[in-house]
Amino acid sequence: MADVIVVGSGVIGLTTAVVLAESGRRVRVWSREPAATTTSSVAGALWWPYRIEPEALVGDWALATLRVYEELAAEPGETGVRLVAGVHRGERFAGLGPWARQLRAAAEVADGLRATLPLLDMPAHLGWLERRLAAAGGTVERRSASSFEEAAAEAPAVVNCTGLGARDLVPDAGVRPVRGQLTVVENPGIDEWFTEADPASSATTYFFPQPWGLVLGGTAEVDDRRTEPDARTAEEIVARCARIRPEIAGARIIGHRVGLRPSRDAGVRIEAGPMPGGGRLVHNYGHGGAGVTVAWGCAREAARLVG
């Protein structure tokens, strides 16, 4: 028996499950795939509110999450969280929300905003979340849900953290994929991250140093469901990054990754209501390109709604 079933084991689902379990609830996570194969595992993953709405709420969720990551960065080998310096080219405080003024290690420089921010090794972090959940008494089950009523038959509360799957399971036609393609190369000695994003373009430029390689990106292709890497796109990604750091051009390619960000036209949905057959359903999905950035803030809000 469980008090809560969380459907979905990406970073949103696992973080929500941890918050619930550590509050004393008996938690089971249902997932049709291992956390290591979810979209979350492909993420870059730099803390930054990117492609996520509603703007009025995102700041608080993001800052709450930032404070957690700052603590977790004390044990990077265990948690997968490090604090790394870098530059957001073209960014200025005036173009960001009030949350940006609360960044402790950020300053405007000639070409943008320089900051020291959490950078997550997602495979390591997802594994750490699973271990933390197990330590709190929670479990992860490889199980698909054909409906939320199926989960409600086994627990009085269900939390929907299905990401892109919410399009069919809720159903919510406003949930749309935003395709992101990455290239991983052997790191030629780069120890800082870099980003440059044009909201009007599907092409972005960034690189993130990870323990296992340098992640190059990327794309933001709305309504594109292709999960196989595109060779020409990969070449363009390397070329854009090499214009910033020429040594990237000669770096050996390790591999390519594709993830479908779970965007939602109306922004993140965190709300609760009763189910027809009894039980309480809490939604926590639609985080777009910033699930990592708001994971703890949204998890705490969802846990509060479980009641």
Q: How many CB atoms lie under 10 A from the CB of residue 81?
A: 25
What pLDDT is stored for residue 39 in this prediction?
81
Rounded Cα gap, residues 257 and 41, in angstroms: 10
d(CA 138, CA 133) in angstroms, rounded, equals 5
Q: What is the mean pLDDT of residues 36-54?
A: 88
Q: Residue 115 half-sphere exposure, CB side, CA atoms within 13 Å? A: 22
| pLDDT of 132 higher than 90 | yes
pLDDT of residue 40: 87
DSSP per position, 196-244 = EE-TT-SEEEEEEEETTEEEEEEE-EET----SPPHHHHHHHHHHHHHH
Instruction: Return the pLDDT at 276.
Output: 82
Confidence label for 199 from pLDDT (cuts 50, 70 and 90): confident
In this structure, the strands spanning 4-7 and 157-160 are parallel
| Over residues 39-48, mean pLDDT | 88
Euclidean distance between CA atoms 7 and 30, whole angstroms: 5
Q: With 0-12 CB in 10 A as exposed, 13-18 as middle and 19+ as buried, what is 195?
A: buried
- Per-residue pLDDT reduced to its tens digit, 73-113: 999 999 999 999 999 999 999 999 999 999 989 999 999 99
pLDDT in tens, 136-186: 999 999 999 999 999 999 999 999 999 999 999 999 999 999 999 999 999
pLDDT of the residue at 200: 77
- Range 34-47 average pLDDT: 85
Please tell me whether the overall predicted TM-score, pTM, comes out greater than 0.75 for this model: yes
At position 50, the amino acid (one-letter code) is: Y
